[in-house]
Structure 1
Amino acid sequence: MRKYTLLIFTLFLFFQDSFSQTEPRLDSMPGYQPTIMVIPFAKEGEDWRQQLEQDKVMLTAVTAVREGFATAGYSTVDLRARLRQLANDQTIEWGNLTSVKQEVIELSGADIYVEVEPIINNSYNGSTGGLIMTAYDAVSGVSLANHTSHSPSFYTKQYERLVQRAAEEGLLEFIPQITASFHDMLMAGRVLALNITLAPSVSYDLDSPVSGSDLLLAEVIANWLGENTLRGQYHLQGMTATKMIVDQLRVPYLHPTNGQPYRAYRFAVKLRNFLRELGYDCERDVQGNKIFITLN
């Protein structure tokens, strides 16, 4: 009887301990506070809606991490609400995870998204709940932080509680990692990539002189990049007469005029307008943090 009493008391402490944990707090960020969206890790072909509706462990993991960020002072986005909105707005192919994921991230307006993957391990020592968390910049897809945590081992089938405990333990280290990475990104700027090509029908190339200037078109573009990137930071990976590849360029994380996140499409529009002012018609395409400009 004393053994059972001790076991019950231990489980009581385990499930109640989370309420006494010291929650991580978000330090003041000068000028901007990021918005977080928590999403489940899924393989191609898996339906997010079914995961959240049918997998209680996954739903617990997503909810626990989102609530942890909210408690720490972050603004959060409800993934299920965004999925319902997306389903109401348009017909989408739910099996195409890449497409759905990108649309949800763009629709959410989140600055950072966090993927969570719960893991349950059973052994003769009991059951353990684990949680893998990875944070990404929503625009560039650059990884900002990652962490794996585990709950203690218990003889229980309440896997949701185990995963919740793993989330609470992991967030104590994971949130400060994200805070530090986000501060670094605010200071260093956002990384974009640029690819400039020519349509087959054009009668000029990047080595052609620009009207009213002693410079070639490639040189004019390079000078513009030096003046319109953050502290002139860009790296020219390669250039031919028909193609210019800039594998890295940095722009401010926040737009200098309105204080909103500086999205890649804003930089693309700015470059397109500059080229049109010079008399070059062009088309632009933006995919994540990659900008494609086609002169035609």
Structure 2
Amino acid sequence: MKKYILTLVFIVLSSNLKLQAQEKVTQVQPTIMIIPWVKDGQDIRTILEDDFNKRIAIAKVKEAFDDRGFTTYDFTQKLKQAMNEMALKSDEKTDLKAEIIRLSGADIIIETEVFVQKSSTGNSVKLILEGKDSYTAQSLSNKIGESGKFYTDDIAKLSKKAVESCIEDFLNTMNDKFSGIIENGRSIRINIGFIEDSEHNMDSEIGDEGDLLSDLLEEWMDVNAHNNNFHIQGVSENTMVIDDFRIPLKDPKTGRNYRATKLSSKLRKYIKNKLGLSVKQGKRSEAEVNIIIQ
């Protein structure tokens, strides 16, 4: 009888530990960077330098995330770092905003648009917050915060009121979406094609069993997609488009962010080493993989 009781206790304890581990995973808190919203042609380097009120407002947004225990990265520091890196690569064309986001290492970028309105009936601050997955630019949350009108020139207080009017709803939506990414994976796009004079196409038979190339690629997608979660948009003789392929948020071996470039390398090696086809890497980004079979 004691043996059965001990076994039952062990099973219960094991189950509790598993549940705690699962809860720990789903409670992963994203890292954040607050950046100013910029319109086309506007210089992200000077937008805060030229507007003290915007600088105050964005500082208050960052403060709200800091107060709630989030790890945040400073935009100004990352801007300086990006500018230094770009100076060393002066012969390469690089988008400054994209470089800032890349160097930040943040999971989520909060773009903040600030409106300071002054009138005879009172002054106010209006904020538009948009949270995006820093790797895929998927929108995670959008909210508008308004301070209301007050007879004061204290922009810091008005900015704080504007933030407080929307921050909880913003965070609830953002956390729900981010939890979905943790559970279901980060969505990227995969395009597989052929050079113009290739001897192969998606209907080519590969190996001794005569499997179609398209079928083998689909099997690979099923095995390697996070939780087998992927969607093929279409397959033709010369292309395969996977418009929604899920990769894990974190690399299970290193704990670091899992990048699309790693998935791209894995797919390219499979086509070359397992299927015996010549292949080259097409243009790639954090949200898209392009493979070209020769």
Instruction: Give the TM-score normalised by structure 1.
Output: 0.83
Q: Does residue 281 in structure 1 map to residue 247 in structure 2?
A: no
1:215-244: per-residue Cα shift (whole Å, max 9, x none)? 111111011001111232221111111111
Contact 2:34–2:58 (8 Å) recurs in 1: yes
Q: Tell me the amino acid that sits aligned with residue 283 of structure 1.
A: K
Q: Does residue 154 in structure 1 map to residue 150 in structure 2?
A: yes
Q: Which residue of the other structure, out of 67, 85, 105, is the alignment partner of 2:63?
A: 67
1:52-91 superposed matches below 5 A: 52-91=48-87
**Structure 2 vs 1, CA of residues 30 and 234 (structure 1 numbering), >3 Å: closer, same or farther?**
closer
Contact 1:237–1:246 (8 Å) recurs in 2: yes
Q: Displacement of 1:43 after TM fit?
A: 0.7
Q: Displacement of 1:113 after TM fit?
A: 0.3
Q: Displacement of 1:124 after TM fit?
A: 4.3
The residue that corresponds to 2:184 in the other structure is 188
The residue that corresponds to 2:208 in the other structure is 212
Q: Residues of 1 paired with 2:86 and 2:180: CA distance?
A: 37
Contact 1:233–1:250 (8 Å) recurs in 2: yes
Contact 1:37–1:77 (8 Å) recurs in 2: yes
The residue that corresponds to 1:130 in the other structure is 126
The residue that corresponds to 1:229 in the other structure is 225
Q: Residues of 1 paired with 2:24 and 2:118: CA distance?
A: 41
The residue that corresponds to 2:289 in the other structure is 291
Q: Does residue 34 in structure 1 map to residue 39 in structure 2?
A: no
Q: Residues of 1 paired with 2:243 and 2:24: CA distance?
A: 33
Q: Residues of 2 paired with 1:283 and 1:34: CA distance?
A: 34
1:195-232: per-residue Cα shift (whole Å, max 9, x none)? 11111232211211113332111111011001111232
Contact 2:125–2:155 (8 Å) recurs in 1: yes
Q: Residues of 2 paired with 1:39 and 1:237: CA distance?
A: 34
Question: Equivalent residue of 2:48, what SS?
Answer: helix
Q: Tell me the amino acid that sits aligned with residue 192 of structure 2.
A: I
1:4-47: per-residue Cα shift (whole Å, max 9, x none)? xxxxxxxxxxxxxxxxxxxxxxx976573321011000012111
The residue that corresponds to 2:139 in the other structure is 143
Contact 2:202–2:237 (8 Å) recurs in 1: yes
Contact 1:33–1:74 (8 Å) recurs in 2: yes
Question: Equivalent residue of 1:69, what SS?
Answer: helix
Identical counterparts, % of pairs: 30
**Structure 2 vs 1, CA of residues 104 and 212 (structure 1 numbering), >3 Å: closer, same or farther?**
farther
Q: Residues of 2 paired with 1:141 and 1:236: CA distance?
A: 21
Question: Equivalent residue of 1:50, what SS?
Answer: coil
Q: Residues of 1 paired with 2:105 and 2:114: CA distance?
A: 25
Instruction: Give the TM-score normalised by structure 2.
Output: 0.84
Contact 1:56–1:160 (8 Å) recurs in 2: no
Q: Residues of 2 paired with 1:132 and 1:31: CA distance?
A: 26
Question: Equivalent residue of 2:263, what SS?
Answer: helix
Q: Which residue of the other structure, out of 263, 266, 269, is the alignment partner of 1:267?
A: 263
**Structure 2 vs 1, CA of residues 67 and 273 (structure 1 numbering), >3 Å: closer, same or farther?**
same
**Structure 2 vs 1, CA of residues 226 and 51 (structure 1 numbering), >3 Å: closer, same or farther?**
same
Q: Tell me the amino acid that sits aligned with residue 255 of structure 2.
A: G
**Structure 2 vs 1, CA of residues 29 and 169 (structure 1 numbering), >3 Å: closer, same or farther?**
farther
Q: Residues of 1 paired with 2:178 and 2:189: CA distance?
A: 20
Q: Displacement of 1:251 after TM fit?
A: 2.0
1:60-80: per-residue Cα shift (whole Å, max 9, x none)? 122111121112111111111
Question: Equivalent residue of 2:223, what SS?
Answer: helix
**Structure 2 vs 1, CA of residues 172 and 235 (structure 1 numbering), >3 Å: closer, same or farther?**
closer
Structure 2, unaligned stretches of length 5 or more? Answer: 1-22
Structure 1, unaligned stretches of length 5 or more? Answer: 1-26
The residue that corresponds to 1:22 in the other structure is none
Q: Residues of 1 paired with 2:158 and 2:255: CA distance?
A: 41
The residue that corresponds to 1:177 in the other structure is 173
Contact 2:60–2:156 (8 Å) recurs in 1: no
Q: Tell me the amino acid that sits aligned with residue 184 of structure 2.
A: A
Q: Residues of 1 paired with 2:248 and 2:76: CA distance?
A: 31
Contact 1:57–1:163 (8 Å) recurs in 2: no
Q: How many residues align?
A: 267
